[in-house]
Amino acid sequence: METLRMHRPGSEARSTAPVLAIRGVSFGYDRTLAVKSLDLRVEPGQAVGLVGPNGSGKTTTLQICAGLLSPVQGTLDYGSGVTTRATLDDRRRLSYVPDTPEGFGHLRIREYFQLYGALQRADRGYVDRALAFGEVLTLPTGAPRLIGELSHGNRRKVALAAAAALIRPLTLIDEATAALDPETVIALESLISTFCSRGLAFLVATQDVFFAERACDQVYILVGGQIVDSGSPAALVRRWDEQDLRGVFGNVTGFGTAADRIEAIMGSVAPE
């Protein structure tokens, strides 16, 4: 049975210029390529997911797209022309949420939003908007606590609210659901859906295949730094004749044999 997903205007592929297109992108640490000849496209109004195991190249890909790393080969296009690394103007068209937000632990939440907004040259309503998004994401924005005193999950909510409040054409989120409680994941899915319905776009890296199936219009599966398959969740499920995206992921990566292997290890051992 296919997972039902809410249709939203703007989720279909469009003929307009993409907010991001990368072609033949590779990057290596020392002499080892972390990503190899990646082709990826994000249309306006789309949520695109990068799904893969640890070490598959998801974070590296997002850092390249954010302009934090320069690919050793390949090109990027943010809708204004082909480049080999995001320019300052390109970066002003996107926001980025890292996997592990760090720094500025000495600031309170409002102070952080004020600083972040100033650095990003945000509009006057930015801080109030960031605080409002923080409340939607169940962040205790009224507390006078320092960011450094917050849990990892709440620091991630700060980063998500800060990025979302910029209202940029493209938002990049690394490990989208990591350390988030269930209610915040639901709120994040609603935020993505609402933004996309207004023509904004997301590129999210995640290990949560259930989140990707619910929240993403297109999914790219990465293994060993390479895209091994891509398509809408429904198309991938049909292509691999599976019940859901989890089954597809297990089939594509070979992890679907885990249950059989565990059974073999257990053998005939009986509990004491």
**Collapsing DSSP states into helix, strand and coil, what is residue 34?**
strand
Structure token digits, residue 17: 């210029």
pLDDT of residue 44: 97
pLDDT of residue 11: 47
**7 lies in a domain?**
no
pLDDT of residue 134: 95
Q: Which residues of the chain are under the pLDDT cut of 70?
A: 1-15, 141-144, 256, 268, 270, 272
Residues 71 and 184 occupy one common structural domain: yes
pLDDT of residue 3: 42
Strand ranges across the sheet with 73-77? 32-42, 20-29, 73-77, 82-83
**Collapsing DSSP states into helix, strand and coil, what is residue 24?**
strand
Alpha-carbon distance of 232 to 220, in angstroms, equals 9
Beta bridge partners of 96: 172
Alpha-carbon distance of 142 to 108, in angstroms, equals 10
User: What residues have CB less than 8 Å from 71, skipping those under 6 apart?
Assistant: 25, 26, 27, 35, 64, 84, 85
User: What residues have CB less than 8 Å from 119, skipping those under 6 apart?
Assistant: none
End residue of a domain, out of 144, 167, 190:
167
Alpha-carbon distance of 89 to 44, in angstroms, equals 18
**Collapsing DSSP states into helix, strand and coil, what is residue 259?**
helix
Residues 220 and 153 occupy one common structural domain: no
Residues 141 and 194 occupy one common structural domain: no
| Domain span including residue 150 | 102-167
CB 10 within 8 A of CB 45: yes
**5 lies in a domain?**
no
